[in-house]
Homo-oligomer: A and B are copies of this chain.
Amino acid sequence: MKKIGIVGATGYTGVELLRILATHTGVEVSIVTSRANAGSRVDAMFSNLRGYIDLAFSEPDVEKLSACDLVFFATPNGIAMQHSKVLLDNGVKVIDLAADYRIKDLSVWEKWYGMQHATPELVESAVYGLPEINRSHIKPANLVANPGCYPTAVTLGLLPLLEKGVISAEGIIADCKSGASGAGRQANVGTLLSEASDNFKAYASDGHRHQPEIAQTLSLLVGKEVELTFVPHLLPMIRGIHATLYTQASKKYDLQALFEKRYANEPFVDVMPEGSHPETRSVKGSNICRISPHRPGNGERVVVLSVIDNLVKGAAGQAVQNMNLMLGLDETMGLTAPAFLP
C-alpha cells in the first residue's frame, strides 16, 4: 500500500479526494493536514466519512509528509508552489490540484493569479495532468499540475477537432456552466443558497483564469495560438460542468466518427451516440467526461457538448487518475463506480 498525504483537505476537492481514496485498494491516506483544524477529526467535519477515514487533521509537517509516496495539494492557489520543492527533493511525488504549475508562461500566470511565483524552476518540469494528451509524460512525472475544471471539459471537447486540423484555431467559443461547488467551500455571500440557488448568471465574462490555461493547452496541440472566447456561468446546483463549444468545420468531416476514434481507448471519455445531449447528472460522482458533437442543420457550424463532474474529472478524480499513473497502478483504480442518478 502506497502512503498518501493530503495538504489542505477541508475544501470540496479535499473531501472528494478522501471519498475516492477511502475505498481505493492500492493506497492509504496516512496524513491529512489543515492548519486551521489541526487536532479535530476529519469525520467531524465531513460526516459522510464516518467509518472510512480514521484520522484527525494535523499541522502540515514536512517530515511526516516526506514519509508519503505521494502528496496532494488541495490548497488555494499559491500554497503548493511554496511547499512542493522540499517534498520533491525528499523523493515524494506531488500533485497540485490548484493552479500553481498549470501555466508555463510565468508572466501570464503572475498576471492572472496576482502573485509572484515562488518556484519558477519547477514550472517548466511540471507535467500538465490531462491523461488524454499527456499520459506518457505523467507516468514518470514527479510533479503534476492537475488541470482546472473548465479546461478539462473544454479541452476534451475540442481535442479531436484541433488535432486533426478539422477546425480553425480562431473564433472558438466556449460557453460554460458550472455548479456552485466550483467556487469552493469558502464563506461567501455570493454562493449562499439564498443568493445562488434560484438564479443563473454569467460571470467574469471579461476574463477568467481558466481562459489562458485552455488557450495554452490548445495552442500546444496545434502549434499556433488558439483564439478562444470563454464565458463561464454559475448554475443553481452543486456539481457539474457543461461546456457548449461553438466552432466551424467543413461538411466533409464525419465528426461522430472522428470523436469515437480519438477516444476509443480512453477509459474516462465517453462519446455518446450521435445526436445525444449529455446531461451533467450522467457523470455525477464519476470520473467520466461525456461528449457529443453536433452540426445543427447539417451546416458548417459545429456545436460540441461536453460534461464532467467538476469535483471528479474536473478535480479529485482526475488527480487520482494521475496518481494511479504516477504510482504504476491501474489507471482506473478507485474510479470505477458508476455515476449517481437520479
Residue A253 is within 8 A (CB to CB) of chain B in the complex:
no
Q: Mark A1-41, 1 if CB is under 8 A from B, else 0.
A: 00000000000100100010011000000000000000000
**CA gap between A2 and B44 in the complex, in Å:** 39
A144-172 contacts to B, CB under 8 A, are none
- The residue in A15, A48, A296, A297 that gathers the most chain B C-beta atoms within 10 A of its C-beta is A48
User: Can you name 20 extra interface pairs (CB under 8 A) apart from A185-B192, A198-B238?
Assistant: A12-B342, A19-B340, A44-B273, A46-B341, A47-B279, A47-B341, A48-B282, A48-B339, A48-B340, A173-B173, A177-B233, A187-B189, A192-B192, A193-B195, A198-B281, A198-B342, A199-B281, A200-B279, A205-B294, A233-B242
Residue A231 is within 8 A (CB to CB) of chain B in the complex:
yes
**CA gap between A33 and B48 in the complex, in Å:** 34
Inter-chain contact B294/A206, CB cutoff 8 Å: yes
Nearest-CB residue, chain B, relative to A201: B279
Instruction: Tell me how many residues of A have a C-beta within 8 Å of chain B.
Output: 85
Inter-chain contact B277/A203, CB cutoff 8 Å: yes
Residue A317 is within 8 A (CB to CB) of chain B in the complex:
no
Q: A47-B279, A187-B187, A279-B201 are in contact. Are A193 and B236 (CB under 8 A)?
A: yes
Question: Which of A49-57, A76-84, A98-106, A125-133 is the contact stretch?
Answer: A49-57
Q: What distance in Å separates the Cβ of A278 from its nearest Cβ neighbour in chain B?
A: 7
Partner of A198, one of B49, B237, B305: B237
Inter-chain contact A279/B199, CB cutoff 8 Å: yes
A195-252 contacts to B, CB under 8 A, are 195-203, 205-207, 229-231, 233, 235-240, 242, 244, 246
Q: A206-B296, A303-B229, A342-B238 are in contact. Are A200 and B173 (CB under 8 A)?
A: no
Residue A290 is within 8 A (CB to CB) of chain B in the complex:
yes
Q: A175-B175, A296-B205 are in contact. Are A237 and B199 (CB under 8 A)?
A: yes
Inter-chain contact A181/B201, CB cutoff 8 Å: no
Inter-chain contact A280/B185, CB cutoff 8 Å: no
Inter-chain contact B189/A19, CB cutoff 8 Å: no
Residue A318 is within 8 A (CB to CB) of chain B in the complex:
no
Inter-chain contact B177/A192, CB cutoff 8 Å: no
| Complex interface: chain B residues within 8 A of A194 (CB) | 12, 179-181, 183, 185, 191, 238, 342
